[in-house]
Amino acid sequence: MPDYSPIDFAVPFFVALVLIEMIWAWRRRPQAYEPRDTLTSLAFGLGSSAAGLLTGAAVLALSLWLYQFRLFDFGAEWWMVWWAWPLCFVLDDLGYYWFHRCAHRVRWFWASHVNHHSSQHYNLSTALRQSWTGFFALSFIFRIPLTLLGFHPAMILFVGAFNLIYQFWIHTEAIGRMPRWFEAVMNTPSHHRVHHATNPIYLDRNYAGTFIVWDRLFGTFQQEGTERIRYGIVRQLGTFNLFWAVFHEWIGIAQDVWRAPWRHKLSYIWRPPGWTHDGSRDTSDMIRARWLERHGETATDGAEKPVPNDNPIAGREKPA
């Protein structure tokens, strides 16, 4: 059983690829990067690694304790069961899909995951913009079912690391579309650009980690259209302050819970981001519905149909 984290070995490649993408941006698309945004994103990555080191032992200890209650047993030499590895990877990716979907639909989980989305740029440094508060948000609970099924926690962590590494390269505008067969099965830059978009029709779509088939299966898939995408969050941060970027949604939850009438307090934790008891803010469903009302349902039903054409942020091109 390997006793190292694949991510440690991947970091130098991450740095090299960010550098290569910067050179691409310098030659072709300078607006793809903003130095202050890049610094914030990379600092997110560093802080996330430190947070993971502090909390990882607790998660592993809990997982090992839960492992004794497993349904199936791969034996004492579980790492020798070759087919368990790909099976674990696929099931972990399925678990990731549901984690990710909840991370967008439940404000408690969103408070942590929003960190990854709060950049208005979409480049490889955005991939490293990882949460510091994942442990506090209890994100690890989504991997418990795999442990209870019988996959050893070390195996789950190992395949999970490869899943994370896979997701690095899809955070780029430098790659258009991959071959059709690949786009059909795998998560790609095209699919993931949709996921990071704030264009109303793209909100809360394409939750996949490695395999896009989960979105196709569970009805959350959206093809990238022809219009330029704008990135970030519905209420853009408007600052590069690292600590505000890390904690702003947690602070928002605390303020809302404090101010809300007693019977609504919990709703500000478990309902979707943007939900309010007085309707004073919008959820992504509300924004999407309003947009569809203005532009019609047909705008969503085809691969090449345009997405919102009111999209001037990312470039100087005139809207269609």
Partner 1 sequence: MAFLGQFLASLAAILVLAWIARRMGLGRDIRIRDEQHAQMLADEVICGFEAREIALDRSGRAALLRDHAGRVILVKVHGAQFAGRLLGPGSSATIWEDFGQRSLEADSGERLFGRALLDVDNPENWVSAINGAKVSSHA
Rounded-to-integer distance, Cα 254 and Cα 303, Å: 41
Cα 112 to Cα 60, 75, 150, 291: the distances in Å are 20, 36, 28, 27
Chain positions 106 to 125 lying near partner 1, rule: CB under 8 A, are 120-121, 125
Chain positions 198 to 217 lying near partner 1, rule: CB under 8 A, are 198, 200
Q: Are 281 and 79 in contact (CB under 8 A)?
A: no
The answer to the question of residue 46 lying near partner 1 (CB under 8 A) is yes
The answer to the question of residue 164 lying near partner 1 (CB under 8 A) is no
Instruction: Give the range of 56-64, 70-78, 164-172, 309-317 binding partner 1 by CB under 8 A.
Output: 309-317
Select 125 or 163, whichever has its Cβ closest to partner 1.
Answer: 125
The answer to the question of residue 312 lying near partner 1 (CB under 8 A) is yes
Instruction: Give the range of 100-108, 182-190, 228-236, 261-269 binding partner 1 by CB under 8 A.
Output: 228-236
Cα 3 to Cα 65, 79, 154, 251, 305: the distances in Å are 19, 12, 9, 38, 48
The answer to the question of residue 300 lying near partner 1 (CB under 8 A) is no
Nearest to 78 by CA among 147, 145, 144, 129: 147
Rounded-to-integer distance, Cα 237 and Cα 218, Å: 31
Nearest to 209 by CA among 90, 56, 83, 59: 90
Q: Are 12 and 128 in contact (CB under 8 A)?
A: no
Chain positions 11 to 30 lying near partner 1, rule: CB under 8 A, are 11, 15, 18-19, 22-23, 25-26, 30
Figure out which of the listed residues 2, 4, 53, 77 binds partner 1, where binding follows CB under 8 A.
53
DSSP 8-state secondary structure symbol assigned to residue 219 = T
Binding-site ranges for partner 1 (CB under 8 A): 8, 11, 15, 18-19, 22-23, 25-26, 30-39, 42-43, 45-46, 49-50, 53, 120-121, 125, 198, 200, 230, 232, 235-241, 244, 282, 287, 290-291, 294, 310-314, 316, 319
